[in-house]
Amino acid sequence: MTDDLARIAIWDPDEVSIRVARSAPARDALQEVRDILMIDLGAPVSRGGPMRCFCGMRVELPYELLPCFLTAEAG
């Protein structure tokens, strides 16, 4: 998570990471991360399960994007 990004999420090949705008709505950020993984990087489709990298490893999300945080935020 970072401040002052031009878009919701950006693939950073130098850091081998995806930077996500802290101010972005969590659901939009998750969709952007999923799209970057699947479309740009060729990761397998992940519908409802954990996001996976193109190499098959589980993608670790910041706590702000975890389902339990989203549920607490909505309630």
Q: Does the pLDDT at position 23 exceed 60? A: yes
If phi > 0 it is left, if psi is from -120 to 50 it is alpha, else beta; for residue 16 that is left
Residue that wins the pLDDT comparison between 15 and 73? 15
What pLDDT sits at residue 74? 52
Q: Which of 37-41, 53-57, 71-75 has the lowest mean pLDDT?
A: 71-75
What pLDDT sits at residue 56? 85
Question: Residues 49-66: pLDDT tens digits?
Answer: 788 888 888 888 887 777
Helix residue ranges, H only, 1-75 = 26-35, 67-74
